């Protein structure tokens, strides 16, 4: 090719590339715009399907029963507890106390717990209330603040530590009172219709059940004390899974109604570079509390969100009574959403979490509770060590594993025994618990230990 022709060819290419790139960008913009318009146009129909599925459309749909009286409401006591413990670094404090417990340095434990006596006693008082209502404004969606949960978790752990000290000193009624308070604080924190509430309840109840095992070994041979522990496990209530799932659906819906008010998609996703991200005051007068957004983009985001929740409700109904299978099916739908590159699904990708692990944790709590009850039934017979159970049939009663609807398992240890469930992997791993197997493997069981190594 002659030099002049080659030069003209290069010039043509250079001039043409931006034109071609512009056409490509224009095509993508038209495609994305079409996707958003299509989703926006579907919003009215999808909202009708969502409501027909029985999912909450307004915050009042989350109200359960009559209002709680001030006399029965633990709200003010818990908020006082949160103020009293504000600024305390429990991530540093609790490991130090636990370390002293492991060394059986009871005097050090008591000294370390002493500064928190008033907070723990306030927690006991709050736990005596039958119900709680923080009067949250759920129309704030995912922007609603939950400052009380941290204090409730921390004080519950302190109560469990103090319960062990009380049992060591044979002050059984006081120890049982602290344990019951820990369980009841877990029940109270789980009263709200959100996933964080469920996870906080499971975390508190799990620690309290593990403490029951420790106290059972401390009180071995004390028939009255062991009977008291059996009664306190009954204080462990299971979370209301259906209520939490309904609340999760509404939280995302309320946020979708107010995407612009909350700073946009990036701010909701927690992007620190987004305008309006970080701590901000919400203008409640501008909060949309019902209906669909007016803006085309926000209508599109909300339409896809409602569409996904209609699908989630279908699998919830299909696998009713089987939380593990429900969680897997819900996660499959969510993963399918994340694979979609269409812009109308951008909000769904950040607003709908995976539910599989949370629902598996729910079943793990049910397994822990029944394992604890079986263990206490075995040792209340006042049998000598050489007559500890070797199989589940040695324990009076019927003890069914919630993971597979089969009998629980028993394993004898050097000085005691353990009762366990096959856990999330549905495989008998020999009673090896997660803390023993490590947290990077799925090969573990769920259960309790009766013996000097109870933890």
Q: What are the two backbone dihedrals, phi and then psi, of residue 410, each rounded to the nearest 5 degrees?
A: -125, 140
pLDDT at 276 over 70: no
pLDDT band at 282 (very low <50, low <70, confident <90, very high): confident
pLDDT at 2 over 90: no
pLDDT at 414 over 60: yes
Residue-level pLDDT at 181: 98
Q: How many CB atoms lie within 10 A of CB 174?
A: 15
Q: End-to-end CA distance of the chain: give it in Å, rounded.
A: 83
Residue-level pLDDT at 340: 77
Share of the chain above pLDDT 70, in %: 89
Place of tokens 């749909």: 61
Q: Decide: 193 and 136 in contact? Cβ < 8 Å.
A: no
Q: Decide: 454 and 214 in contact? Cβ < 8 Å.
A: yes
Which of the listed ranges 304-318, 330-344, 375-389, 433-447 does the model predict with the highest average pLDDT? 304-318
Place of tokens 């029951």: 212
Residue-level pLDDT at 5: 58
Residues 23-28, mean pLDDT to the nearest whole number: 37
Question: Rounded to an integer, what distance in angstroms lies between the CA atom of residue 426 and that of residue 402?
Answer: 10
Residue-level pLDDT at 383: 58
285-301 per-position pLDDT tens digit = 999 999 999 999 999 99
Question: Rounded to an integer, what distance in angstroms lies between the CA atom of residue 142 and that of residue 147?
Answer: 14
pLDDT at 381 over 90: no
Question: Rounded to an integer, what distance in angstroms lies between the CA atom of residue 351 and that of residue 248?
Answer: 9
pTM score, two decimals?
Answer: 0.89
pLDDT band at 336 (very low <50, low <70, confident <90, very high): confident
159-192 per-position pLDDT tens digit = 999 999 999 999 999 999 999 999 999 999 999 9
48-79 per-position pLDDT tens digit = 999 999 999 999 999 998 999 999 999 999 99
Residue-level pLDDT at 321: 86
Residue-level pLDDT at 167: 95
pLDDT at 20 over 70: no
pLDDT band at 339 (very low <50, low <70, confident <90, very high): confident
Burial 221-236 (b: 16+ CB within 10 A, else e): ebeebbebbbebbebb
Residue of 20 and 368 predicted with greater confidence: 368
Residue-level pLDDT at 126: 98
Q: How far is CA 334 from CA 43, 305, 355, 366, in A?
A: 20, 11, 9, 25
Residue-level pLDDT at 354: 87
Q: What is the mean pLDDT of the chain?
A: 89
Evaluate the CA torsion angle 352, 356, 359, 361 in order and state its sign: negative
pLDDT band at 353 (very low <50, low <70, confident <90, very high): confident
Kind and range of the H or E element at 185?
Answer: helix 172-189
Question: Rounded to an integer, what distance in angstroms lies between the CA atom of residue 154 and that of residue 143?
Answer: 23
DSSP state of 414: S
Q: Can you point out the beta strands (E) in 289-390?
A: none
User: CA dihedral defined by 131, 132, 138, 144, rounded to 10 degrees?
Assistant: -150
Q: Which two tokens stand for residue 388?
A: 């500890």
pLDDT at 21 over 50: no
Residues 317-330, mean pLDDT to the nearest whole number: 92
SS3 at position 144: coil
Q: Provide the β-strand partners of residue 411.
A: 418
Question: Rounded to an integer, what distance in angstroms lies between the CA atom of residue 115 and that of residue 395?
Answer: 42
DSSP string, 27-38: HHHHHHHHHHHH
Numbers of helices and strands, H then E, in the chain:
17, 3
Q: How many CB atoms lie within 10 A of CB 87?
A: 6
Q: Provide the β-strand partners of residue 448.
A: 419
Q: Decide: 92 and 112 in contact? Cβ < 8 Å.
A: no
SS3 at position 439: coil
Strand-strand pairing, 409-412 and 417-421? antiparallel
Q: How far is CA 421 from CA 51, 361, 449, in A?
A: 39, 13, 12
Residue-level pLDDT at 6: 54
CB-hemisphere CA count at 13 Å for 306? 31
What angle is formed at CA 381 by the lines to CA 379 and CA 386, rounded to 5 degrees? 70
pLDDT at 30 over 80: no
Kind and range of the H or E element at 303?
Answer: helix 296-318
What angle is formed at CA 45 by the lines to CA 40 and CA 51, rounded to 5 degrees? 120
229-243 per-position pLDDT tens digit = 999 999 999 999 999
């Amino acid at each position: 090719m002659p030099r002049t022709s080659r030069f003209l060819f290069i010039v043509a290419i250079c001039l043409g590339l931006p034109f071609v790139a512009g056409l490509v960008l224009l095509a993508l913009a038209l495609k994305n715009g079409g996707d958003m318009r299509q989703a926006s146009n579907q919003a009215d129909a999808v909202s009708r399907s969502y409501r027909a599925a029985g999912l909450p459309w307004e915050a009042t749909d989350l109200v359960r029963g009559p209002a709680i009286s001030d006399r029965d409401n633990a709200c003010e006591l818990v908020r006082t507890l949160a103020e009293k413990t504000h600024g305390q670094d429990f991530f540093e404090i609790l490991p130090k106390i636990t370390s002293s417990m492991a060394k059986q340095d009871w005097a050090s434990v008591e000294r370390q717990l002493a500064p928190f006596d008033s907070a723990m006693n306030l927690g006991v008082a709050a736990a005596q209330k039958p119900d709680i209502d923080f009067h949250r404004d759920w129309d704030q969606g995912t922007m609603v603040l939950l400052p009380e949960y941290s204090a409730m978790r921390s004080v519950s752990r302190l109560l469990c530590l103090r319960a062990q000290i009380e049992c060591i000193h044979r002050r059984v009624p006081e120890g049982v009172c602290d344990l019951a308070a820990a369980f009841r604080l877990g029940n109270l924190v789980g009263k709200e219709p959100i996933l964080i509430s469920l996870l906080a309840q499971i975390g508190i109840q799990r620690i309290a059940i593990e403490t029951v095992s420790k106290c059972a070994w401390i009180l071995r041979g004390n028939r009255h004390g062991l009977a008291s522990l059996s009664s306190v496990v009954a204080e462990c209530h299971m979370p209301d899974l259906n209520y939490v799932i309904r609340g999760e659906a509404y939280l995302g819906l309320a946020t979708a109604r107010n995407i612009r008010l909350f700073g946009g998609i990036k701010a909701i996703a927690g992007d620190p570079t987004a305008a309006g991200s970080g701590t901000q005051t919400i203008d409640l007068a501008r909060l949309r509390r019902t209906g669909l957004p007016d803006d085309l983009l926000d209508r599109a985001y909300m339409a896809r969100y409602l569409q996904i929740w209609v699908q989630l409700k279908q699998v919830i109904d299909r696998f009713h009574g089987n939380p593990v299978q429900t969680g897997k099916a819900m996660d499959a739908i969510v993963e399918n959403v994340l694979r979609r590159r269409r812009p109308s699904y951008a909000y769904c990708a950040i607003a709908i979490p995976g539910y599989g692990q949370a629902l598996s944790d729910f079943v793990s709590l049910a397994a822990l509770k029944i394992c604890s009850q079986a263990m206490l039934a075995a040792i209340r017979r006042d049998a000598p060590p050489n007559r500890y159970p070797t199989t589940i049939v040695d324990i009076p009663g019927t003890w069914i594993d919630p993971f597979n609807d089969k009998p629980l398992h028993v394993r004898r240890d050097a000085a005691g025994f353990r009762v366990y469930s096959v856990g999330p992997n549905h495989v008998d791993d020999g009673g090896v618990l997660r803390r023993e197997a490590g947290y990077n493997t799925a090969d573990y069981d769920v259960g309790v230990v009766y013996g000097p190594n109870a933890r």
